[in-house]
Structure 1
C-alpha cells in the first residue's frame, strides 16, 4: 500500500470513529442507566454533550489547526479522542461519563474536519471526485452503523466496549500517522486569528444545540429554553456583523455566495435530518413497542446501512454524468417513499420495515456522495478548509434537529395516544354490562397497563362469574388492541407529518441546480 493510500486510510478511520460515536451510544443507554442507577433523562447529557461540543468547536478549532499545522493538530485530536474514549469506558458514574464524552467531542471537532481537508488535499483538484466520494460515504455509513454496532457490542460484551473499541483504531492511526505525516508545517500568521468571531460562533452553536437537545426536557416555552433561543439569535446576528467587518473572518461569508455550496449546505442538513429520524426512532419503536432486545432492534437498521454502502459510491462517480438535480432529487424521492411506507404497513410487518429502510438508505446514499463532492468542488486553500469545517457543523446540526424535532414530536404523539386510550377506556368500561362496583377497578388496572405495556396481561378471572368475566375480558382485549393501535399510530403520524417537508425538499432540489454539474 503506497503512502497516499495509507494517509487516506488514516483520514477515513478518523471520520468513521467521529461519526460512529454520534449514534453508537443510543441503544446502550438502558444498560448504562441500570449500571449507574440513574434515569435515561439524566443520561441524555452524556449523549448530547458530544454533539453539542462537536458542532460548537469544529469551526474555530479548524482555524487554530491552520495556524499551528493540520498534521500536528489532527494527531492531537486523535489523542484527545482516545483519552475521552478511555475515560468514558472506565467511568463509574454519570459525571465521569459526561466528562469523558466532552473530551471525546473536542478530539472529534479536530479530527473530523481535518480528515476531510487533508484527505481532499491528497489528490489534484481534477482528481478529487473519488476521494471526496469515499470520505462522504464514510460519514453516512458510520452514522447509520452506530446503533447496529452499539447493539452488537452491548449484547455480547458490555456497554463499556462501545468506547474501548475506539482505542485500537486510535493507536493504529497514531503509529501510522507519526511515520507518514509531515509535522514541519507551520503558519506564523497567528496574530490574525479572529478571536471575537470564534467566541461568537462558539456561543451561537452552544446556545442553539443546547436548546435543541434539552428543550424537550426543559419545556419549549420555559424561561430557560426561551433564554437560550434568544441568545442564539443574538450571537448569530453579532457573529455575522463581525464577520462582515473583520479582515480575516472565522468563516468567509463568500462561501455562501457560491451557489453549489449554498445548495449543498441545505441538502446536508435535511438529508442527515431525515436519515437520523429513522435510525433514532426505529430502534425506539422496536425496543419499546415490539419488545425487541437492543441487538435485534439494532438489526432492523442493517438494510439502511447496507444500501448506503451500495448506492453512495455509485452516486459519487455518477455525478458528472447525470448531474446533481437528478441524483439528489431521486435520492430524496426514495427517502420519501420509505417514509410513506412507514405510515402504512412499514411498522406492522418486519419485512416491510426492512424494505422501506433499504429505500431510505439507498436515497441517503444517492445524496451523501454527490453532496460532499459539490460542497468542496469550487474551493482550494483557505476556502476549502472553511467549507469542510462548515459542512461538518451542518451535519451535526442536521443530527441535532432530527433528535429535537422527531423525539419531541414522538413524545407529543405518544401523549396524545395516552389521552385517547384513557378516554376510550373510560367510555368502554362505563358502557360495559357488569356490576358498577368493579368498573373503577377495571379502569384503574387498564390505565396502569397503558403505562407499562410490556407487563400488560389480561387475567382470565375477575368476578368468578363466567359470563361477566367473558364480557370483561372481551372489553379488556379490545382496550389493549386499541391502545396498541394508538401507540402505533403515534409513530406512523411522525413520518406522515414529515412527508410534506420531503416533497418541498425535492421540489427545491429540482429548481436549484442545473442538470449538469
Structure 2
C-alpha cells in the first residue's frame, strides 16, 4: 500500500487571496458554530408548534453536533484526497440545502432528519477549514489567521441565543434556519472565485472506511442510549441494545484502528499525556459550556415567561464573557502556560455552576446572572489553550489528525451535555410529578399547559432540575480542573509517540 506523502513546497497564494480565504472560511465557521447554539432559543416555540416532548427537543438540538462530530475525521481524510476547496464547496452546498429543509420541516422527525443532513454538510465544510488556512498563509502568519478563525467561531457561538431570540421574536422559529440560505450562496460564489485550490496532501491509500463507519455507529448508539434511557427508563430493551451496540462499536473501532495501515485515528497519540488530557478536556468544555444552555432557555422562556428576544438579551452576559476571555486567552497563554490557564478556567466554570444551583421556584433571573458571567468567562479561557496543546504536543506529522480529533470532541460534547443535563432535569421533574402528561409539558418548558392547581409544584420541580444541573456541572468542572493540573504541561512542547520501524522506513513519519 502506498504511503501518503506531502506535496512539494509551493508558493503561498497572493495576499489578497489569503484575506479572501480567511474571510470566507471564518464566515463558514461562524455559520456552522452558530447553528449549534442558535436553535436553543427556539426550543419552546418548536415544542409548542409540534407539541414535541423533551426527547424530541433533545434530538433536534443534539443530532446536528453529534453527526458533525462523528464525520469530522473522515471528512478531513477525504479532503486530503479529493481536494480541500472541492470538499469545502460540497460541504457548504449541503449545509445550505439542509438549512432550507429545516425551515420547511412539517414534523419533529423531518426537522431531526434535516438537522442530521446539516451535520453532514457542517463536518464536510469544517474539516478542510484549518488546512485551507494553513495552505493560504506562510508559517509566520498562520497562528494569527487561526486565531481570527477561532475568535469568530467563539463569538458566533456566544451570540447565538441573542441572534436567535431576535429572529424568533420577529419571524418565528423557522427563520433561524432559513437565514443561512443567503450567506450559503455567497460563500459558494466567493469560494469558487476567490479561494485558490491548494495541492492535495495525500495520494496513496484508501480512506479508512471501516474506522469511519464504526465511529459513527458507536457515537450514535451511545447517544441514543442516553437519550432513550432518560425517556423510556434505563432498563428498557432499546436502551440496553443501543448501549451494547455502542460499547461493541467502540471496541471494534479500537481493534480496526490498531491494525489499519493508514488509520483514521492513530491511537498512539493517546500515549502523550498532554494530548490525551486536551482531548478529554475539550469534550468536557463543551459539555459544561453549551450542554445546559437549552434548559436555561426553557427556564427563562417557559417558566419565567420571557420572550425569545428578552431571553437572548439576558444571555448576553454569558456571550459577552466568552468573547472577552477568548480574546484574552491567547495573550495569557504565553505568560501562564496551558496547565494554569485551563485549570483556572474550569475553576471559574465550577463557581458559575454553584450560582446556577441557587435557582428556586420563585427566584428572579438575576440570581443566575453571576453564574452566567462566570460560566462564559471560564469557557472562553479554555478553547484556545486546548487547541494549542492538542497540536503542539504531538509530532508535526500528526498535527492535522490531532486537530481533527479535538474538533470532533467539541460538537460531541455539546450533544452529550444536552443529553446528560436533560436526563438530570427529567429525573427531578419525574420524581416530583406523577402525572405523565404534566411531566412531559413541564420538562419541555410548556408551562402554559400546566393547570393553575399544579403550577406551584411544576415550578418547584423544574427549578429543582436547574439546581441539580448546577450541582452536577460544578462537580464535573472540578474534575476538569484536576485533570488539567495532572495532564497538561506548564509549557506546550512537541512530543513524539513511539513510531513503528516500518513506518520510519517508508517515510511516513515526520512528513
Aligned equivalent of 2:464: 489
The correspondence of residues 11-410 of structure 1 with structure 2, limited to 5 A, is: 11-36=25-50, 41-42=55-56, 44-125=58-139, 127-183=141-197, 185-186=199-200, 189=203, 191-344=205-358, 348-378=363-393, 383-410=398-425
Deviation at 1:402, TM superposition (A): 0.9
Whole-angstrom CA distance in 2 between matches of 1:12 and 1:90 = 27
Pick which of 99-108 and 326-335 moved more. Answer: 99-108
1:270, 1:245 → 2: CA distance?
29
Cα offset, 1:222, TM superposition: 1.4
Q: Is the 8 A contact 2:158 2:320 kept in 1?
A: no
Q: Is the 8 A contact 2:217 2:249 kept in 1?
A: yes
Q: How many residues align?
A: 472
In 2, the alpha carbon distance for the partners of 1:228 and 1:483 equals 32
Which structure carries more relative contact order (alpha carbon 8 Å, separation 6+)? 2
Q: 1:225 to 1:140 in 2, by over 3 A?
A: farther
Q: Which residue is 1:428 aligned to?
A: none
Deviations 1:131-176 (A, max 9, x none): 3333333444333333332221111112221112112222222222
Structure 2 Cα separation of the partners of residues 121 and 375 of structure 1: 20
Segments of 5+ residues of structure 1 without an aligned counterpart are: 423-444, 459-475
Shift of 1:486: 5.0
Which one is further off, 340-349 or 300-309? Answer: 340-349
8 Å contact kept, 1:7–1:180: yes
* Distance (whole Å) between structure 2 residues aligned to residue 512 and residue 38 of structure 1: 43
Query: How far is 1:96 from its partner?
Result: 3.9
For normalisation by structure 1, the TM-score amounts to 0.83
Residue 4 (structure 1) shift: 1.6
Secondary structure of residue in 1 paired with 2:128: helix
Closer, same or farther in 2 for the Cα pair 1:514/1:93, shift >3 Å? closer
Q: Which of the two has higher C-alpha Rg?
A: 1
Distance (Å, rounded) in 2 between the aligned partners of 1:354 and 1:283? 13
- Map Cα deviations across residues 78-102 of structure 1 (whole Å, 9 max, x no partner): 0111111122223334454334323
2:43 and 2:298 in contact (8 A); partners too = no
Are 1:512 and 2:487 matched, yes or no? yes
Q: Give the superposition deviation at 1:302.
A: 0.9
Q: Which runs of 5+ in 2 are unaligned?
A: 1-14, 493-511
Instruction: Provide the residue aligned with 2:433 in structure 1.
Output: 418
Partners of 1:79 and 1:138 in 2: how far apart? 21
Q: 1:262 to 1:38 in 2, by over 3 A?
A: closer
Say if 1:380 and 1:157 are closer, same or farther in 2 by CA, change over 3 A: farther
For 1:62 and 1:273, the matched residues in 2 are separated by 24
Counterpart contact for 1:340–1:495, Cα < 8 Å = yes
- Change in Cα spacing, 1:349 to 1:125, as seen in structure 2 (3 Å) is farther
Change (3 A) 1:325 1:192: same
CA distance in structure 2 between the aligned counterparts of 1:358 and 1:78, rounded to whole angstroms: 33
Hey, what's the Cα distance between the residues in 2 that align with 1:161 and 1:456?
Answer: 28
**What TM-score results when the alignment is normalised by the length of structure 2?**
0.83
Distance 1:326 1:449, change over 3 A: closer
Shift of 1:359: 1.1
